[in-house]
């Protein structure tokens, strides 16, 4: 019997347009039933199909001598040496975290960890990038508190160190916070696992937790906008998953044991769209069909429908295709770990996604039409013309400028956040969250790894092309400043509606900037995520392309972890343009909309100056290197003073000199005995270098402008904690 046609309301509720629904009917030559409609909804939404972004994502460079696996798998992988590799990925959990901060953020961590260990890699580090509403918004504190608790709960309980990240506040995130989770893990090159199914008649096995109704429709919800009506948003809470980190830990160990048994053909975590997406992706990659019998799926709630089983996003679940004849052995492993294990189907030769339930066919779809034939859009986009009216730096004393920046939630210490995370689990973290990149040691080796998470949404909103380049360049500088060789990046591209030409223009130009920077800096994109529809009542977030970068330290035993010593001499490496915009200072002081900025990213200079810094660190010619980013030389000198509990005396200078945000610069500290050699090397390499002053004392002396270090510490350290304690009327 042909199903009755669905109403416009049902179609809209599934996130499908009328044209897309008509396309489905043409592909099937009939009307889909409700389960089939749900499957199409899950596979054709933005989150799974990348229907508005795929055209542009193909532009990004994803290859290199170091790249083992690029985009398309659960995580990207780069080589460390002939035998070891690093798997890493970043993904968003924005909408769930706004609706249900604790569970949304917690399951964001759980999901990204599964992406990593699905590849056969043991997780060694997580990071996160958080974008919250304004500090005077009544919901900001509630969301931030819940998000941080959720991240802490999952990561600490699972047993993986949280080594860094970033946190920003802006009114543009009032109705839509961003929670981007990053994870990295170590794997042997000959023990990497992929999600491509092979072999006709191979068993498909379900592993892990039971399936419930939590998260049904989660992937579709992630491709929707919010409304200002909180009650409407609260109604979406059932679409937020609930996680169990202790169960996930058992699931990981069981999966590793299964992998070692030699029976795994393909493996995939059940993330967005649950059983639907995981099974379709494995079949599609192997050009095979999939048969599933839902009667065999372990469930924890009564009377679940096929629709609910297929679209549930219950956490801590995996799907695998295994070699025939290994079923009993595989089941034994999961029984030992007290986890569910069930054979729920098999691969088939036909291009079919065939689903049975209670001895009836409940879905019969061409599998390829769910993946390859998902709509792909070339959305119209436009670039807003800049006004060329650069904001003037306010008339302030240097002392007052420093006080404004250090007391801002955007530029103060984020210890309130990272002190809730255990960054010492596994006893491998060598540099805790704070300045530049975090550093961890790979156990039983001499290798170290550097991790950094970076974005500049304000710059991206004003000049998306330069903002895209800057995000990559800053990540590159942070890794360089840690003494590591930059290897590759993952990106999390957070934007508003792609149906808005201005938003789409921001996305396109950010992509172009990221592409330019990655090519010039040999910093390929090996994994990532696009998160669209981050908006409320049509008002978008700031464009926020977040870059997660990794770097390699070949000999951690001889590595300089970067301590500024008394009487070290401070220099700035890189040319300073005093006409460059002091973006952080202007935005924090005036809180006015900035139409244009004079901030340009010269990628040749980034590469030249970065390689020079890396040479100095490797030769131990400098004590410390620190990237000059937000707040310019002035703020970054203060950060060094605070981190090392050591003041300084530097040259007299203008606000324009100390707070402009010229790119491609580093502050270095040099032992006076090595000063002449460093200057000589800089001259030989044609790298600009300018003396700033000396590290000494307990005051921050910008010429005649003096700030006691104790005063600076008081401003810097307790901003977030005081904010969280303050009542908002």
Enumerate the active-site residues: 47, 93
Cβ atoms of 391 and 374 within 8 Å: the answer is no
How far is it, in rounded angstroms, from Cα 372 to Cα 379? 19
Candidates 231, 5, 246; CA nearest to 106 is 246
Candidates 564, 697, 703, 575; CA nearest to 634 is 703
Cβ atoms of 700 and 648 within 8 Å: the answer is yes
How far is it, in rounded angstroms, from Cα 476 to Cα 480? 6
Candidates 285, 274, 153, 141; CA nearest to 220 is 274
- Cβ neighbors of 460 (< 8 A, separation 6 or more) are 467, 468, 471, 506, 510, 542, 543, 544, 545
What is the DSSP secondary-structure string of 463-491?
-HHHHHHHHHHHHHHHHHHTT-EEEEEEE
Burial 76-96 (b: 16+ CB within 10 A, else e): bbbbbeeeebbbbbbbbbbbb
How far is it, in rounded angstroms, from Cα 407 to Cα 344? 57
Cβ atoms of 607 and 615 within 8 Å: the answer is no
Reported as type and span, the H/E element at residue 219 is: helix 218-221
Cβ atoms of 482 and 562 within 8 Å: the answer is yes
Number of neighbours of residue 19 by Cβ within 10 angstroms: 9
Candidates 195, 60, 48; CA nearest to 490 is 60
How far is it, in rounded angstroms, from Cα 238 to Cα 316? 17
């Amino acid at each position: 019997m042909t199903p009755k046609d669905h109403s416009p309301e049902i179609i809209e509720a599934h996130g499908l347009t009328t044209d897309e629904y008509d396309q489905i009917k043409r592909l099937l030559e009939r009307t889909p039933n409700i389960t089939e409609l749900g499957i199409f909804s899950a596979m054709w939404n933005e989150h799974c199909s990348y229907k508005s972004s795929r055209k542009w994502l193909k532009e990004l460079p994803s290859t290199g001598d170091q790249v083992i696996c690029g985009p398309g798998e659960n995580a990207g992988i780069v080589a460390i040496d002939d035998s070891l590799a690093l798997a890493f990925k970043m993904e968003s959990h924005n909408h769930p975290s706004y609706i249900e901060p604790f569970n949304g953020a917690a399951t964001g961590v759980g999901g990204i960890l599964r992406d990593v260990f699905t590849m056969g890699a043991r997780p060694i580090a997580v990071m996160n990038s958080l974008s919250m509403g304004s500090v005077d918004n009544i919901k900001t504190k509630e969301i931030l508190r819940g998000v941080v608790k959720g991240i802490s709960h999952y990561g600490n309980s699972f047993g993986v160190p949280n080594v860094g990240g970033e946190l920003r506040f802006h009114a543009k995130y009032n109705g839509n916070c961003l929670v981007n989770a990053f994870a990295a893990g170590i794997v042997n090159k000959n023990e990497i696992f992929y999600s491509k199914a092979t072999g006709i008649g191979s068993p498909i096995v379900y592993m892990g937790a039971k399936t419930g109704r939590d998260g049904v429709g989660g992937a579709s919800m992630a491709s929707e906008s919010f409304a200002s009506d909180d009650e409407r948003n609260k109604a979406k809470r059932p679409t937020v998953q609930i996680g169990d980190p202790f169960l996930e830990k058992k699931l990981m160990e069981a999966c590793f044991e299964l992998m070692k048994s030699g029976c795994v053909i393909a493996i995939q975590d059940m993330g967005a769209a649950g059983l639907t997406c995981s099974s379709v992706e494995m079949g599609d990659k192997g050009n095979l069909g999939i048969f599933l019998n839902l009667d065999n799926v372990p469930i924890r709630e009564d009377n679940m429908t096929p629709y609910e089983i297929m679209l549930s996003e219950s956490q801590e679940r995996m799907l695998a295709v295994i070699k025939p004849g290994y079923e009993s052995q595989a089941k034994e492993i999961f029984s030992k770990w007290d986890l569910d294990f069930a054979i729920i189907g098999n691969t088939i030769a036909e291009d079919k996604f065939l689903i049975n339930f209670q001895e009836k066919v409940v879905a019969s779809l061409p599998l390829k039409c769910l993946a390859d034939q998902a709509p792909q859009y070339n959305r119209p986009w436009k670039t807003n013309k800049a006004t060329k009216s650069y904001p003037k730096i306010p008339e302030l004393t240097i002392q007052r400028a420093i006080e404004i920046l250090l007391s801002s939630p955007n530029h103060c210490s984020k210890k309130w956040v990272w002190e809730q995370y255990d960054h010492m689990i596994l006893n491998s973290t060598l540099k805790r969250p704070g300045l530049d990149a975090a550093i961890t040691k790979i156990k039983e080796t001499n290798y170290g790894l550097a991790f950094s998470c970076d974005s500049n949404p304000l710059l991206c909103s004003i000049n998306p092309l330069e903002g895209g380049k800057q995000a990559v360049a800053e990540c590159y500088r942070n890794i360089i400043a840690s003494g590591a060789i930059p290897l590759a990046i993952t990106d999390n591209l957070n934007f508003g509606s792609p149906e808005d030409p201005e938003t789409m223009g921001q996305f396109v130009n950010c992509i172009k900037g990221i592409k330019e920077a990655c090519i010039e800096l040999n910093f390929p994109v090996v994994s990532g995520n696009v998160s669209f529809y981050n908006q409320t009542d049509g008002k978008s977030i700031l464009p926020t392309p977040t870059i997660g970068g990794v770097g390699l330290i070949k000999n951690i035993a001889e590595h300089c972890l970067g301590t500024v010593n008394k009487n070290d001499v401070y220099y700035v490496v890189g040319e300073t343009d005093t006409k460059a915009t002091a973006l952080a200072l202007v935005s924090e002081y005036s809180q006015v909309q900035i139409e244009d900025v004079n901030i340009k990213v010269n990628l040749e200079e980034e590469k030249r100056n970065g390689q020079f810094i890396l040479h100095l660190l490797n030769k131990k010619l400098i004590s410390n290197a620190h990237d000059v980013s937000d707040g310019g030389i002035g703020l970054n000198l203060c950060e060094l003073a605070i981190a090392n509990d050591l003041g300084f005396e530097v040259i007299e200078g203008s606000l324009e000199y100390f707070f402009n945000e010229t790119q491609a610069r580093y502050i270095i500290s040099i032992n006076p005995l090595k000063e002449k050699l460093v200057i000589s090397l800089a001259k030989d390499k044609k790298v600009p270098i300018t003396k700033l002053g000396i590290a000494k004392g307990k005051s921050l002396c910008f010429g005649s402008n003096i700030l006691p270090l104790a005063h600076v510490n008081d401003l810097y350290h307790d901003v977030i904690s005081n904010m969280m304690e303050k009542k908002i009327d």
